[in-house]
Homo-oligomer: A and B are copies of this chain.
Amino acid sequence: MDKEPDVTRVRVEICGENYYIKGSASEEYIKQLAKYVDEKMKLLSELNPRLSRINLAVLAALNIADEYFKLKAEYEEFLEVFGEEKSK
């Protein structure tokens, strides 16, 4: 019997390095997240070939935070408009 039956362990490659990720999500989902981060870092590395791996990772995090914040603002705006429409 497994000690942690709900924990998924996945090996993923991000920007040329292997990472072992543990999480409660599915293997497929964890791989999808890793692919997203990997693509961001590779794109940033193409645009700025002299950046170190640590700077690429921090920039990728900032980049994804930007996408998250923008989507959140859009969603909140939509909920407001939807709320107004519902109350008409």
Contacts and interface: CB of A to CB of B under 8 A. Distances in A.
Interface of A: 14, 19, 21, 25, 29, 32-34, 36-37, 40-41, 53-55, 57-58, 60-62, 64-69, 71-72, 74-75, 78-79, 82
A56 to B, nearest CB: 8
A53 B53 CA distance: 10
A68 B34 CA distance: 13
22 contacts: A14-B58, A19-B55, A21-B62, A25-B66, A33-B62, A33-B65, A33-B66, A37-B58, A37-B61, A37-B65, A54-B54, A54-B57, A57-B57, A57-B58, A57-B60, A60-B61, A61-B64, A64-B64, A68-B68, A71-B71, A74-B75, A78-B79
